[in-house]
Structure 1
Amino acid sequence: MRYGKFASVYDELMEDVPYEKWVEWVASQIQSGKILDLACGTGTLSQLFSEMGFEVTASDLSEEMLTIASQRFQEAGQHIPVLQLSMDNLEGLSGFDAVTIAIDSLNYLDTEKQVQQTFKEVFAALNEGGHFFFDVHSVYKVDHVYMDSPFVYDGEDIAYIWHTEPGNYAHSVIHDITFFIQQGQLFERFEETHEQRTFKVADYAAWLEAAGFQVESVTADFTGEAPDVESERIFFHAKKN
């Protein structure tokens, strides 16, 4: 998935995402060191990690997202390296104390093999004792919550109509979103199609262990509690021992 014009409106649409809670979660386990922020998007999380004193490297597959992230870092006076990479091919990166894949970015991988390869690449990129943090949509969210579309958003200068349908795999969803962006007195219309896929908690845990990780915790919805049948976002913390 390569975000197109969506990159230009991403930050406004993600205003309600609790990035600070994500940072607090990571900082509760590691207080310093080098972080690789995979699928960094427009760099919000990378910036927050840098502000806390971490040495951050930001990576994303989307050139459009990285352009915005680079501008963000420059304006903040932060020296954060930016890499254009797929999360399942880290090209020999190593020496990190933590790797993050935030805000369901892992769900953009289509196949089990890609997820498994990503876990192997992350394991190789980490130092001994390094931490891996990521979150994913639950099966319940993909199979039930997302199927209640259409969803509509009407902001001051951005509006969208968001339709969903089952994707090409089990526990996958196709998002068809039509945006209306105000440009002067007129609105520009453009469309984006995104597909996401998730897997059962037990599958993720098994693939982490197969890659060499020890699963430290599996929690849901920023509660710190174990997932239940209606949890929507699942958080994994694994460690390279």
Structure 2
Amino acid sequence: MSDFVNPYTKFAYAYDVMMENVDYVRWAEYVDDLFALYNYHPKRVLNIACGTGSIDILLAQKGYEMFGIDLAFEMLALAKKKAERRGVKLNLWQQDMRELTVSKPFDAILCLYDSINYMTTEKDLKTVFIRASEALVPKGMFIFDVTTERNIIKHFHMKTFAESNKDFSYIWKNLYVPKDKLCKTILTFFLKEGDCYKKYDEYHVQKIFSVDQVKDLLNEAGFKLLSSFDAFTFNKCGRSSDRINFTAVKKT
């Protein structure tokens, strides 16, 4: 028998091991390059859905004053520990991106690694965009990415991944529902607790949005879209894109 828990509550403890193939250095450099591309020099940067803080730490080391929010307290706790070990200051707090409120506006906001896809309705996505706009200075920059239907079908649909080591094991099952544009995932973890392993399940759902949907909602939320690039490049996105990076600027 297993316990169902909220997304990223148990995933947090395995996250960095499971994502060790992710090139966070490249990702941080790409964000830095996007700022440079538009001759924008932000100081205070907020990362919404910051996770365990890997990108935040790298950007802080580049001189940005980094802030981060995440819905999962467990992810934030790990981010804090990682930052302390590296001697980096991160300003972190727990918050739902749909309820983002800040006491002082930011120069730039990030939302990376398809965190946006966790918004499963246009209403929720528009709410996030509005909250981001309200949390930015005039002409502040918003950088985020989305995973694409091509990526989900090619790499995840009807696929199961599994791994085992001394501290945990996991089984990762995926199903894409084309008519709903939803990728449904069940992550089963076996975590070592004392002398035993306990089973936990997490249910994750991600929504695929078209480029036109994103553009329209950004405009309605008060943003001007600057670019929609094939991720990690400065090339316009297309049908072969697995990940699309959007850069937008607050209109006023």
Tell me the TM-score normalized by structure 2: 0.86
Task: Report Cα offsets for 1:73-114 as digits up to 9, x if no partner.
Answer: 222232322111111111244421110001111111121111
Q: Is the 8 A contact 1:143 1:171 kept in 2?
A: no
After superposition, where does 1:1-241 map in structure 2 within 5 Å?
2-28=7-33, 29=35, 30-153=40-163, 158-166=168-176, 170-181=180-191, 188-241=198-251
Q: Is the 8 A contact 1:39 1:101 kept in 2?
A: yes
Between the aligned partners of 1:153 and 1:137, the Cα distance in structure 2 is 23
The worse-fitting range, judged by mean Cα deviation, of 27-36 and 229-238 is 27-36
| Two-structure CA RMSD over aligned residues (Å) | 2.3
Aligned length: 241
Residue 134 to residue 64, structure 1, CA distance change in 2 (3 Å) = same
Give, as a single letter, the amino acid of the residue that structure 1 aligns with 2:145: D
Q: CA deviation at 1:174?
A: 0.9
Q: RCO higher in 1 or 2 (8 Å CA, sep ≥ 6)?
A: 2
Between the aligned partners of 1:126 and 1:143, the Cα distance in structure 2 is 35
Question: What residue ranges of structure 1 are gaps of 5+ in the alignment?
Answer: none
Between the aligned partners of 2:70 and 2:154, the Cα distance in structure 1 is 29
Question: What residue ranges of structure 2 are gaps of 5+ in the alignment?
Answer: 1-5
Instruction: Provide the identity percentage.
Output: 32
Give, as a single letter, the amino acid of the residue that structure 2 aligns with 1:91: T
Q: CA deviation at 1:166?
A: 3.2
2:3 matched residue in structure 1: none
Residue 223 to residue 92, structure 1, CA distance change in 2 (3 Å) = closer
Between the aligned partners of 2:177 and 2:95, the Cα distance in structure 1 is 25
Q: Is the 8 A contact 1:152 1:159 kept in 2?
A: yes
The worse-fitting range, judged by mean Cα deviation, of 161-170 and 114-123 is 161-170
Q: Is the 8 A contact 2:168 2:192 kept in 1?
A: yes
